[in-house]
Structure 1
């Protein structure tokens, strides 16, 4: 027995010994049934043995004892190896099933937690799976839930069913694609969806269905439209700014050209040069020059570079005073209606430019009503709390000029304020009326808005900032031309020789000796050499130092020196309000009036 037990596997000795002892115990007489491993003494090979047997007892004596344990011992090593392999395989399968179950649960959790609607469908268009977001979004835009087994296209309104079925059919044919479509019921909203379709394949590559992932892109599309609108507005603004810069520069040059023309013609007319025919020709030339001057003023107004004289203006009084002129201008077929609100506050404006703008708008309205109609001019006080377009937050006087004419379509309306754009035909307008009004109110800090509809009419609104001061007749009344306040030396500064020569003639005619300078620096040299001018007449924009800067330097040396700034338009930084100015082109009477209005100090004589 010692050899037997020594050959057992250490882990099986106790169990085998206990089984043998139980079988050999006369009181227990258990069946010997045990499986154990043996270790070969020669080869060290481990073998499994299944042993079964019973104890054989000698019952003839009082002292019963086990004679032997008889039974069988079978080598079951092969079976044990098979069982071990099967057990290992089962363990592996269980592990793999657990892992796959975890992966599927995780995938399901991810899909269900995804905010984008996802659903799968079979070749009969029936829903076979969907996540929570899909049902939530479907309920949001259709008003009811989906369920597994629903034929998905049939859940949509009639006009959307065929579209959905066609998209699903493409996916079921094996195509992967993305589309943007509008789905939903009108009463719940019809968002735009970006939908990606993908076929479902089995292990052999056969199509067994398809699935789609949807995304509501309505907000994104609205943002894209708003961005495109903003970009269009920016491009239009840049275009208008470029045109304004070009127009302002050309108009300034025209003013320099017109100044000697107007001045010379005026001088010839006042001196009565030539006979009646020559005077008639000179008069016609002056009329043309004045029309050119008006055209240039409109160009400068569009470019926002006209030298404005903004003062508090009684818009109601101005409109009322122009009613008769507008009626005669528009003709008997057009009924002019003027409505002015009570207690209308004064507006900050240049009355002369505002009158011109109102007259231009009246003419435009007349031309838009060839068969007659109504021109309604309304002035009211308004407050803007939410900025819109060029109209900023603030308090305004809104001057509305509305007609019942042919109106404008969107394309025409988008170009209405462009300079020289006109629908009146060749020779029937300059195309500067609206652009001048637009530039005028923009330069004053207001805005111009237009509402128009073909066949209904057009309403142009001028939004003028309210003035904190009070309008009075004295402020609005034009200055009267009086006698020249003093005589003496006039220092004339202009970089354009032909303008300088014409202006010098006018100054000499009203009693001044003139010393000319082609630049501010040259003028300072003249003063440094001992000249003491009684009047400074200087152009504003010149190479190097500007006329305003020159005036400030000379005023430091001669505080009471009268100064007149001559300018074709105001620069961005503007001309100082305390410096009187004269707009090019001008006639001798206008120059004399401006000089006469200057305050002449005792040190200037």
Structure 2
């Protein structure tokens, strides 16, 4: 099969400009697209080769789909072509007619129009990755069949070894399908969480501004505080979704795991209660691991709480750390790792529960007793750091959760810097704010103006560069990361060539930019409070200018 054809997207959207728009969107992400005029043309394209198919719901209604059904049912064992169906009324829960397409297409993802560009690209990339894994499975299957035939020719007495190889293949296929399912869930979850972050940012910002407008109204303060608490809980939920999707903004550094575990001992004792006897053990001379320590502590606390809930009558809980060498296993590369194991002697899990344990929102704790995001968050965090989470469990004998984290030769403390937090001063400055989401852009601009800054707003990187080239004096660039056309890191680099030395702040709640050109840029995670924005902006401006003035106490009452 031609490699270019096997990676392309087949687009069946004969109505209006849908096909051209979809092809352009996919092209921006580096995915080639080929338009088909009708269902027969789609089948011809599938026979030639494709990575996935993008079709509109209406293009498959009231047409002869016999050939398409035949092609889908005749796929070889390794193949399960992904279909993305653009609908007007959502998936099965609101669109019963979609059930017919689900039965016909099999491996289908429904995407309701209108949709965000990033959501389409995220779903398309997920489908293409799934298809690539199918090609890898095909190669393994061909290799296995060749090996099986060779063994039969050499000696029939080796049949038992062939059977074992077959069982290994079946296990590999099962792991492959499970990985594909989790990858698809992660991509969809990440897109949804990104949109929620954009919604929460103006909600929290506007509530902050309202709190300062009514300082002497107890009832207003109580209502606003309730809204802020609810929004903060929603933000925590979104961070767990981003952790599962491997899209949270981590800030890893070399960390001594023994010191981290010992520092958690008091917090674990308070969180787990007197019925849980916690034992922490680690081998001497452990190398450092490159992790985000705050997120790792949260992950270990989640595992410990799960262990406590599995031991309703109390019992011992062991947390062990040791160095291990691992051979390549799935997505995990061969190398040196730190193994952190959380071991309980509780109720354990049966085979079916264990298979679904890391799925988001899956929980056995009952309604109101858990979000079902604890293990999924740990799974996503470990994978994003280059490691993995493994679970082993036996009903009635307890569970062992193991986190593998890659080691580093860097020493703890080498990359740590004390940050300057300024809460009582601002620098007179003009800020260029860039965000493609109008709600976020307006809300952030209001927060900055309320502090006392002049703000110029732009909806894209191109618009921001035009303002910079116009000669307008700009003291600080504040930009979103994930934007169509030009992302925030690219914008900062381009702005530096227009205004050398211009300080910049990246606001993000979605992308992993722990490496590459954006790793060294100052960042502020979405959603954020006004006080966090004020401190981060003041810190960057003070580094460039000594023109500091105190914030007037009556500023909060100004219009």
Q: Which category describes the TM-score, using the shorter chain as reference length?
A: 0.5 to 0.7
Unpaired runs of 5+ in structure 1?
1-213
Aligned match of 1:521: 462
Aligned match of 1:512: 453
Aligned match of 2:403: 462
Distance 2:242 2:538 in 1: 27
Of 472-481 and 222-231, deviating more is 472-481
Check whether the contact 2:254–2:415 (CA below 8 A) recurs between aligned residues: no
Distance 1:367 1:293 in 2: 25
Question: Match of 1:598, SS?
Answer: helix
Q: CA deviation at 1:360?
A: 1.1
Q: CA deviation at 1:563?
A: 0.4
Q: What TM-score, normalized by structure 1, do the two folds share?
A: 0.61
Aligned match of 2:164: 222
Distance 1:599 1:266 in 2: 22
Distance 1:434 1:391 in 2: 18
Aligned positions, number: 392
Check whether the contact 1:255–1:296 (CA below 8 A) recurs between aligned residues: yes
Distance 2:286 2:316 in 1: 24
The reply on whether 1:576 has 2:518 as its aligned counterpart is yes
Aligned match of 1:486: 427
Check whether the contact 1:561–1:601 (CA below 8 A) recurs between aligned residues: no
Of 225-234 and 469-478, deviating more is 469-478
Q: CA deviation at 1:436?
A: 0.7
- Which of 208, 219, 233 is the equivalent residue of 2:175? 233
Distance of aligned partners of 1:474 and 1:348 in 2 relative to their CA distance in 1, 3 Å threshold:
closer
Distance 1:271 1:362 in 2: 43
Aligned match of 1:558: 499
Distance 2:171 2:473 in 1: 60
Check whether the contact 1:534–1:604 (CA below 8 A) recurs between aligned residues: no
The reply on whether 1:423 has 2:367 as its aligned counterpart is no
Q: Relative contact order (C-alpha < 8 Å, sep 6+): which is higher? A: 2
Question: Match of 1:464, SS?
Answer: strand
Q: What TM-score, normalized by structure 2, do the two folds share?
A: 0.66
Q: Deviations over 1:347-381 (max 9, x none)?
A: 10011111111111111111111111111111222
Distance 1:493 1:353 in 2: 28
Q: CA deviation at 1:554?
A: 0.6
Aligned match of 2:376: 435
Higher-Rg member (1/2):
1
Distance 2:498 2:520 in 1: 17
Q: CA deviation at 1:574?
A: 6.2
Unpaired runs of 5+ in structure 2?
1-155, 548-559
Q: CA RMSD in A?
A: 2.4
Distance of aligned partners of 1:337 and 1:239 in 2 relative to their CA distance in 1, 3 Å threshold:
same
Q: CA deviation at 1:246?
A: 0.1
Distance 2:226 2:379 in 1: 31
Which protein has the bigger helix share? 2
Check whether the contact 1:493–1:538 (CA below 8 A) recurs between aligned residues: yes
Of 391-400 and 591-600, deviating more is 591-600
Check whether the contact 1:398–1:461 (CA below 8 A) recurs between aligned residues: yes
Distance 1:325 1:473 in 2: 26
Question: Match of 1:300, SS?
Answer: helix
Which protein has the bigger strand share? 1
Aligned match of 2:344: 403
